[in-house]
Amino acid sequence: MKEYSYHDVNLRGTIERVTYRTTNRQGEERNKYCLVYLPKGYDEKDCEKKYNILYLIHGGGGSPDAWLDCCQVKNMLDFCIDAGEIEPLIVVFPTFYKERIARLGPPVAEEERSHVLFFQKELAEELLPAIEGRYHTYARNGSQEALRASRQHRAIGGFSMGGATTWFAFTHHLDLFARFAPLSGDCWEVEAKGGGARPRETAAALRDAVAQFGYTPDDFRIFCATGAQDIACAPLSAQIDAMKQLPDTFRFQEDLTQGNAHYFVAEGKVHCYEHVYQYLYNILPYLFL
């Protein structure tokens, strides 16, 4: 795995704050915000230029600011685009929590799972339309039809509970996303912490989602990673091992240009943004191939 270090980049993208309406778990309307990274050269008047888009989700207890506050992800994006390592893209940093105060005290697995599950409707019906009706993505507008038609140009990824959110997007919204980057987080579709506790059932649920949406292995890509010293390593590895037993759906390859599923474990890395964004650095050049 390549290691990224800070670069003094002259051509820097910008961060915008976008507010949209949603409904909390009590049925009350709320304004929520997400942060949006726009690459250097993005021109709102240039409707001909289209951009791939990545939705990048924080971990438990976080906020839309978490990725940008906790690591050099923006500098890395600026550098990769400036150096020609990746094509310019839009990156959205939302939150799966409904209220400004995410939580008080330590995490409770079932409560965190419920936040992520409840977010799935907002993700598809409110967040995506708000963003892609505003910026120049491959979706011609924010309608569900347009979003489905442009799914190959849309990715979702996340750290820890953001990884669980990514797996939920796979099982619930495979018609809207074609590229997935769950980082240091297993799938909680079957139950909280289910990737580790019930790996075979979890792998089957992921396989069944592909069949239910009517897709084939050629219709999606998964880029999954964690650290050898990460608390997520054991449960995620158990899930991945079970997925490897379903090669008709998940075609794992070490070469990131081949197959439709990839998993790597980085030596010496633990459960923190400063380590996890390194995985994203290695994945980005292949995410939209």
pLDDT digits (tens, 9 = 90+) for 180-206: 999 999 999 999 999 999 999 999 999
pLDDT digits (tens, 9 = 90+) for 170-180: 999 999 999 99
Using CB atoms within 10 Å of the CB of residue 47, give its burial: 0 to 12 exposed, 13 to 18 middle, 19+ buried. exposed
pLDDT exceeds 70 at position 132: yes
Using CB atoms within 10 Å of the CB of residue 168, give its burial: 0 to 12 exposed, 13 to 18 middle, 19+ buried. buried
Give dist(CA 258, CA 251) in Å, integer. 9
Q: Which of 97, 219, 103 is nearest to 162 (CA)?
A: 97
> Identity (one letter) of the amino acid at 20?
Y
Which domains, ranges and CATH numbers included, belong to the chain? 14-287 (3.40.50.1820)
The number of helix segments (H) and strand segments (E) in the chain equals: 10, 8
pTM: 0.97
Confidence of residue 28 (pLDDT cuts 50, 70, 90): confident
Average of per-residue pLDDT across 83-96: 98
Tally of CB atoms within 10 A around 208 = 13
Confidence of residue 101 (pLDDT cuts 50, 70, 90): low
